[in-house]
Structure 1
């Protein structure tokens, strides 16, 4: 018998499920089975709805929740993440492929499989390249704006099914609204009645029957309503269409189209889906992990998602990602290991074999009504309100992502990412620079506590103290250098400058060169540049760039007390003699040349008295 705990590291990387497999016991298996059955019941109506959004036959949503879910669970890193079809991915699939082929047609399905394969390949490549940290650069605001825009598009795409209208295929959002407004008289009343009954039942069930799956309740009510109307008036009179019976079978083998034409048509949307799906999956995994006290490996999650989509493309599944609803339910249901997510796919298969024929009674307007509810639930009104009220720049990112998604869903999320990164670069290129002074209340404190300067605070006439908070890199050099030069340009006596560098997170070659130039400039003025609280990485960059000698190792200090004791004797003795601010402890002890302060003050008083006598004699 193989001892899994003694496996080499390379085997763990190749088969990551070996890490948690020894934790599977009779107790965890029972808990995982309950969670898996709960998840299978929930995913059944969702998968059918998501496949409808994607323009695929309903059973393809079920297939996407089977093999991909198993592979993602075994090769991912999260204990509770459940993968499968999702709303956002489904709407991107539809938007990308519907202009190329008729939704639901064999050509459409084949292109979707190619799209799924390419998305999986991109995800796997990113995981193997250890690019998991890239998802941190996609802000939460972008995801909120994109999801809200996708929700509106979902609702718009189902208007024709809800009201029984004919609409041109691939119409843009504004075209759908214009067409709907100009064809209000063509609404089929019985179709709309079934949709309204389903919508009302879903809303009421979600609010007053939280323990029951609201989608199933709404489907039953819609199906009964349609059956009654068809029985009394006839299907030709009502115009109510049904989804049709689902294929009750294992996910059939499939083959993507690997022709150059198909790859060219799908590579760009595949990249969007890959990035969006990875962001969604990692964000959900981290969210659940905060409750389960687990650490998520983003790179392994990339690998798991990539392999799941690669496998799904050969088992009739379309692009999948982590599902927040199903992952949350999986955790809340008591799942202990990723085996629960894998088993949910098996339970789903058994359920499909039993209930697939019942889909023949499911009305199309009922599916549209359910998707209206799904779309509404996708819009995060709480966070949107907070962003609009409190965050000016995030408000712009949200608006551009939302509008960009409505105009062109494939490019909307990239527009949001680009704008958010531009704001990020703008912020980092302008690190906060504050002037500090020693705390007057703790002048004798050996720790030399510094506080922010206020308009009433006295400052040193020779050496201001600046705190730089942020990174000094090529994009921030001009901003930092301008602040340094403003000091002596406003007051020529301030030839010295002390920089507290503890809050400087990173410095690059351009930043090191800027400090060297500033040090040389101040030496020519008769002063110097001093650094205190320098971190090891900061010093290492100065050494590697060859600038440590230019700055001067004797100008670099670890602690404030050490710095002030070394710098004070280098200050201008005459300016210190006349100074009344005396903000440093050393100022009260002696002048920079070592003359005791009491003696210096007495001499200054005698000199002032002599000047007064001289002025009096001159006046007389």
Structure 2
């Protein structure tokens, strides 16, 4: 923008100035329509997410107001809509419910403190420009974690879906055992309302895709509950209860607990929630940005998400992140700028101010049905099958993350998935491939391939290293290079094609020097061809270049094969 081009510090402080020039009467119209659509959908979603998180229902709506506005204005995505999400909600319930009774004042206080810490961590990561950290939470880990979280959501609602007396906080095995052993105690009225809600959601998505399926399902469940209560004598006979009227207005001011004991207790959980939330938000922003032909600034998204949680914790908003459903809806509804997310929060406030009393007609069984639908939609069967087909190692990470999510505290499940992913990555990179290659006959400049069909030279072995030579790979490469002349003692001369080497550290440089000396002692030599600039500079700075010998390095365009052949009868 020309008006602020001379003040880059102002753009960093107020990043919404970057896209303010895109706003005009046309974009405002599109953004208002998208915002209204999003605001309507947010009502049932906010209540559902708060229920998952163990928070009073209105807190799910508060989390979609101030935090959504801050994230939109201080993020970098034009379409990302932030607020409560399923994954974050289930993590909050699983990690905070052992510390306090869900829905209690103490529970709310702990959740708001957790939200503040999450915001501080995210903001710090953004300011320090550590946006690449989310790359360590692999797509496989997210899919496994989300699938496990989906099962936990469904498990947490079994008692409300079937009307069974299952204790709060029961494990997956305990809930399933309780269900099987109490089949004769299932309440048919409650289960009927829940099943009707599920069927209405599925039918709306299938035959009336333009309608919001969650709202349609809630209306169907509420109507079914009303009819059953009228026909069979009311709540005392059917057991169908409602969530009660929502007392929702402007988000009330709240104060996190800054006592040292509470902060120390919540910091490990906050780190896991912060990483998961950032992974969610940045992944969704990038996915939509591809369609919108927009470039996402990961560090700015960190800052936007951090500020939204930090500020949101003082306005009764619990930990939020980017929502895939609402972001996709925002984009599909024609949103042009982040103002659509701002309008969505404003419309949500207006809607709940006038419609909140109607929540007293919403049955708990209908909410359980909605959460069953949400849980089913979270399990990405397509990508899970793709992972299993493509890689056994990735399938192991998926399974381990899924099992850890179901059996351990959720923050540890994320850590386990990340740790396994890193271990597999290090295992792969510590074993760079050593590929037999030969020169293409008559091609200039010389090119080497494993597909020439030529036999090995009796005196000279030619191989290409596909991977970096660093401390973790040194032992593997030393063994592989020694096996060459052990298998064929005539192969004292070795040509390394370096086009596949991206990085060499000091340990790698020492290994190459050692190999060059070893081969000279055998009466042969080590030669390197087509090294990239970065690893070549490392060899020069470390002194390895001179120790190997400048005459043993060949660049692209050199007649490397003929030059080496002339030395075969002369010890290198």
Smaller-chain TM-score bracket: over 0.9
Q: CA deviation at 1:6?
A: 2.2
Partner of 1:96: 95
Query: Where in structure 2 are the equivalents of 1:215-614 lying within 5 Å?
Result: 215-232=214-231, 233-408=233-408, 409-439=410-440, 443-452=441-450, 457-559=454-556, 561-572=558-569
Select between 398-407 and 411-420 the one with higher mean Cα deviation. 411-420
- Max Rg structure: 1
**Secondary structure of the equivalent of 2:467?**
strand
Larger displacement relative to structure 2 (110-119 or 178-187): 178-187
Distance 1:127 1:352 in 2: 33
1:215 deviates by 0.8
Once the 2 structures are TM-superposed, how far is the Cα of residue 281 of structure 1 from its aligned partner?
A: 0.5
Question: SS at the partner of 1:472?
Answer: coil
In structure 2, the partner of 1:610 is none
Give 1:180 deviation, angstroms: 2.0
Check 1:7–1:71 CA distance in 2 against 1; reply closer, same or farther (3 A cut). Answer: farther
Residue 607 of structure 1 corresponds to which residue in structure 2?
none
8 Å CA contact retained: 1:466, 1:500:
yes
Q: CA deviation at 1:248?
A: 3.0
Match in the other structure for 2:182: 183
- Contact 1:138/1:417 (<8 A) preserved: yes
Preserved CA contact (<8 Å) 2:444 2:557: no
Q: Distance in 2 between matches of 1:160 and 1:261?
A: 34
CA distance change for structure 1 residues 239 and 258 in 2, over 3 Å: closer, same or farther?
same
- In structure 2, the residue corresponding to 1:349 is in which secondary structure? helix
Would the aligned equivalents of 2:499 and 2:531 in 1 still touch at CA under 8 Å?
A: yes
Show the counterpart of 1:201: 200
What is the TM-score when the length of structure 1 is the normalising length? 0.90
Verify the 8 A CA contact 2:446 2:559 in the aligned structure 1. Answer: no
Q: CA deviation at 1:261?
A: 2.2
5+ residue gaps, structure 1, are 575-591, 593-620
Q: What SS is found at the alignment partner of 2:437? A: strand
Number of the residue aligned with 1:577: none
Task: Please give the secondary structure, in 2, of the residue aligned with 1:252.
Answer: coil
User: How far has the Cα of 1:145 moved from its partner?
Assistant: 0.6
Q: Is the 8 A contact 1:77 1:300 kept in 2?
A: yes
The 8 Å contact of residues 309 and 318 in structure 1, kept in 2 or not, is answered as yes
Total equivalences in the alignment: 570
Q: Distance in 2 between matches of 1:489 and 1:323?
A: 58
2:303 & 2:21 partners in 1: Cα distance? 22
Matches within 5 A, 1:15-164: 15-164=14-163
Please say which of residues 54-63 and 228-237 is displaced more in the overlay.
Answer: 228-237
Cα RMSD over matched residues? 1.6
Shift of 1:210: 0.7
* 1:64/1:316 contact within 8 Å kept: yes
Q: Secondary structure of 1:81's match?
A: coil
Deviation at 1:192? 1.3
The 8 Å contact of residues 155 and 371 in structure 1, kept in 2 or not, is answered as yes
CA contact (8 A) 1:4 1:22 kept: no
Shift of 1:7: 4.0
SS at match of 1:71: helix
Residue of structure 2 equivalent to 1:582: none
Asked whether the equivalents of residues 73 and 82 of structure 1 are also in contact (C-alpha less than 8 Å), the reply is yes
Q: Is the 8 A contact 1:466 1:499 kept in 2?
A: yes
SS of the aligned residue for 2:355 comes to helix
Aligned counterparts of 1:208 and 1:391: Cα–Cα separation in 2: 37
For 2:392 and 2:525, how far apart are their aligned partners in 1? Answer: 40
TM-score (norm 2): 0.97
